[in-house]
């Protein structure tokens, strides 16, 4: 039997895809619950690597790269305390921005309540702050 150019090694991406399918089959909804192929940090691995990893770690999981960890933090608010804080920041800014979009006088009333006279400048600061949060959230998820 012929082997592919990569020999008997399998991409970690393929292992993660298999892990996702097993999670769906076992009806595990939380991606942080379990990964089925040990603590593997190589881009390509052989079956022996998987077996050694499972034996050494004692429970199966796949290491996430820093970018993958950042994506999970920004995408799944239950993944960490930082993720939950970021979720509440984005949600608060979204609600504030939509509220001001629907009722523009709301921001002016709020600025008047806290005795700020330069409402034009503060309105611009508010819009810039909202756009900064939305842009940062978008760029970090890319």
pLDDT of residue 133: 93
Cα–Cα distance between 41 and 62 in angstroms, integer? 7
Q: What is the pLDDT of residue 2?
A: 39
pLDDT at 116 (0 to 100):
82
Dump pLDDT digits (tens) for 4-24.
444 566 666 676 677 677 767
Residues of the chain with pLDDT under 50: 1-6, 33-35
In angstroms, the Cα distances linking 44 to 16, 22, 97, 120, 126 are 12, 20, 46, 57, 48
Phi, psi of 128, rounded to the nearest 5 degrees:
-65, -40
């Amino acid at each position: 039997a012929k082997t592919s150019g990569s020999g008997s090694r399998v991409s970690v991406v393929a292992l993660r895809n298999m892990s996702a399918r097993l999670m769906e089959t076992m009806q595990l909804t939380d991606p942080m619950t379990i990964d089925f192929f040990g603590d593997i940090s190589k881009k390509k691995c052989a079956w022996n690597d998987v077996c050694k990893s499972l034996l050494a770690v004692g429970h199966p999981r796949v290491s996430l790269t820093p970018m993958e960890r950042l994506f999970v933090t920004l995408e799944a608010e239950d993944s960490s305390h930082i993720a939950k804080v970021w979720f509440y920041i984005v949600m608060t800014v979204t609600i504030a921005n939509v509220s001001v979009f629907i009722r523009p006088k709301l921001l002016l009333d709020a600025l008047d309540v806290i005795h700020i006279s330069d409402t034009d400048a503060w309105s611009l600061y508010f819009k810039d702050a909202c756009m900064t949060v939305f842009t940062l959230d978008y760029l970090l998820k890319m």
